[in-house]
Amino acid sequence: MAPDPGKWERMAFIPKSRYVPDPPPEREPFPLYSSLARQWEQAGRVVPGVPDREWERLMRTPIWPR
């Protein structure tokens, strides 16, 4: 706010978090999910959040034969 209560001026507000970067996580944020995702990937299964090559190939092929 402005120093004088009768006047209004625009004041920029930037939270302190914008100046200081967040510290990097020390370990996996979800160890149970990460472990399960690794097991699925090793077994050749689809993992949420990872592109599925088979689905992409199927979507690229035309529906009707020419």
Which bin fits 40, alpha (ψ -120 to 50), beta or left (φ > 0)?
alpha
The pLDDT value given to residue 36: 92
Confidence of residue 42 (pLDDT cuts 50, 70, 90): very high
The model carries a pTM of 0.44
Tell me which residue has tokens 């920029």.
12
Q: What is the mean pLDDT of residues 42-50?
A: 90
**Residue 2 scores a pLDDT above 60:** no
The pLDDT value given to residue 15: 62
14 versus 24: which is more confidently predicted?
24
Q: What is the mean pLDDT of residues 38-63?
A: 90
